[in-house]
A = this chain, B = another copy of it.
């Protein structure tokens, strides 16, 4: 009888299930379930308005999706052939909860309070708090490019404290949504080293940032320490499925459930990478760059480095570009404004037209800051720039210019990685996510970075990675694996499409990258404070 590991992937708009055959790596079933409340950016379900840059979710959506997907898993292969459950989740996506795990927003007295809901990773309203933390220049940021992000736990938590002190006080826990789902499934509050390490500045030697420092930000902020429990390593078992969830899903009580992992990070084993030098890029609405290393170096501009953060025994470096697909979708949405046209059709047309435009021929260079800059500037106040527009500029030229700008951003990330001398040189790029399915985009990335790209055909890299963690949670004794090497040897993805850099294009892009760097320095590295002033005016 075949054995399967369940991978649950909680994305921004929906959750998905993948069942992976632990022997062959073949996918047995995949199901996608959209969240009923989606992303709340304007108002709560009852109409309570949200401010600019807010992005919330409803925690009930996660459980609705989990139940439905696990029921589907059982239907697909039967309860007995499932060896374990792994799950990955967007992060930093946090919620305030009571000691028993009840989200505060489900309590009637907090139901109309935006701060009681889940703050999605792309909730960007805590920039002021992030700025103040960064201004302190605390030592705990040394491994995070010396900057925290408005997207991360400390800025978001401080925003709750300052704007809704009663919510902060009532929250026994401020927990990542991925860890919260594991808690619901197993009855055990198990936080993940991955989420804690990359989003809450936890490190094995020092733990979470010291309460004394937090007190300098707000007299009541040291209480945050009581709301965070120490995390557990990834690739381990968090616990077994509770009787209640066994009832709801038809899966066996006690079925191993893995410690949660950040969605992008799960793509690393999902793409079969278990060693240094191969950069994994998850290119969806945003891009997350992941690189393993045997060494720990504090690299300026890197989002974070955590030992055992993605795979046991190695340091995992994370970097990011907060708007890649998101910026391109903005352009498609803009072009569809007059027509309510179908986005997919427009995307295809833009890709087709853009493919025939030579590098630089549009005369455009853009800064890819439609959602700010994560690596290297960690500044959500920055916004996009397009320079070189003329009355002859076509929609496809703008599209290509925007794709190129995200590729320049990626080249810069690689250079930042390699500037840390102890990190192994990047010899290969492995790519997954929605953008990896566009040959136009992939070829531009190969030409701009001067490196061969291996784009995965699977739309489920993270979910597959989650299944790998599920198999590890089961262990050999329960039909899974005890080591990453064993798991990856069996559960790997077969098909990659290769994109090699064109030498002539590569040379042209070297010049254009220089122009990108020049704009980057001017608008982002002290040339001007224009972006901050524009942000202050924006409504």
Residues of chain B with a CB closer than 8 A to A363's CB:
383, 534-535, 537-539
Contacts A533-B511, A537-B363, A539-B361 known; A389 to B393 CB distance under 8 Å? no
* A385 vs chain B, min Cβ distance (A): 5
Cβ of A339 within 8 Å of any chain B Cβ, yes or no, is: yes
Give chain B residues whose Cβ lies under 8 Å from the Cβ of A165.
none
- Contact (Cβ within 8 A) B534 A388: yes
Chain B minimum-CB-distance residue to A523: B387
Q: Is the CB of B537 within 8 A of A528?
A: no
The answer, yes or no, to whether A43 is at the interface (CB within 8 Å) is no
Apart from the given pairs A335-B335, A370-B389, 16 other A-B contacts in the complex at a CB distance below 8 Å: A326-B391, A330-B393, A334-B395, A334-B398, A335-B337, A360-B534, A363-B534, A363-B535, A363-B537, A371-B390, A383-B389, A384-B390, A511-B537, A515-B530, A518-B530, A522-B522
Counting every copy of the chain, the complex holds 2
Chain A interface mostly: mixed
Residue of B nearest to A346 (CB): B338
- Please indicate the chain B residues that have their CB under 8 angstroms from the CB of A204 in the complex: none
- Interface flags, A301-345, vs B, CB<8A=1, else 0: 000000000000000000000010011011000111111010000
- Interface pair B383/A387, CB less than 8 Å apart: yes
Nearest CB of chain B from residue A113's CB, rounded to whole Å: 24
For the complex formed, measure the closest distance between the CB of A219 and the CB atoms of chain B, giving whole angstroms: 34
B515-A519 in contact (CB<8A): no
Interface status of A211 (Cβ within 8 A of chain B): no
Give every chain B residue within 8 A of A387 (Cβ-Cβ).
383-385, 523, 530-531, 534
Docked pose: A534 CA to B336 CA in angstroms: 28
**Most B CB within 10 A of own CB, among A323, A336, A530:** A530
Pick from B338, B385, B392, B523: contact of A336, CB under 8 Å: B338
Closest to A528 in B: B518
B residues in contact with A358, CB < 8 Å: 539
Specify the chain B residue showing the minimal Cβ separation from A358: B539
Could you show 5 A-B contacts with beta carbons less than 8 Å apart?
A: A338-B338, A365-B530, A383-B389, A384-B389, A387-B531
User: A386 on the interface (CB 8 Å rule)?
Assistant: yes
Cβ–Cβ < 8 Å partners of A511 in chain B: 533, 537
Determine the chain B residues whose CB is within 8 A of the CB of A329 once the complex forms: 391
Tell whether, in the assembled complex, residue B385 and residue A385 are in contact, meaning their CB atoms are under 8 Å apart: yes
A70 within 8 A of B: no
A362 contacts chain B at the CB level, 8 A cutoff: yes
Chain B residue with minimal CB distance to A342?
A: B338
CA distance A535 to B360 in the complex (A): 9
Q: A370 near B390 (CB under 8 angstroms)? A: yes
A125 to B: closest C-beta gap in Å: 13
A364 touches B (CB below 8 Å): yes
Name the B residues within 8 Å of A327 (CB-CB): 391
Across the interface, A534 reaches (CB within 8 A) one of B334, B338, B365, namely B365
Distance (Å) between the CB of A120 and the closest chain B CB? Answer: 14
Given known A-B contacts A383-B389, A386-B389, A537 and B518 have beta carbons under 8 A apart: no
Minimum CB–CB distance for A508 against chain B, Å: 8
Interface set, chain A 493-539, CB cutoff 8 A to B: 508, 511-512, 515, 518-519, 522-523, 527-528, 530-531, 533-535, 537-539
A211 and B136 alpha carbons, distance in the complex (Å): 69
A468-485 toward B: CB 8 Å interface, digit per residue (1/0)? 000000000000000000
Residue in B closest to A367 when the chains form the complex, CB atoms: B387
Contacts A330-B393, A339-B341, A522-B528; is A386 near B388 (CB within 8 Å)?
A: no
Chain B positions within 8 Å of A518 at CB level: 528, 530
Are A362 and B538 in contact, with the CB atoms below 8 A? Answer: yes
B residues near A386, Cβ cutoff 8 Å: 385-386, 389
* A384 in complex: contacting residue of B339, B371, B388, B523, CB < 8 Å: B388
List residues 361-417 of chain A with CB under 8 A from any CB of chain B.
Answer: 361-365, 370-371, 383-393, 395, 398
Residues of B within 8 A of A362 (CB): 538
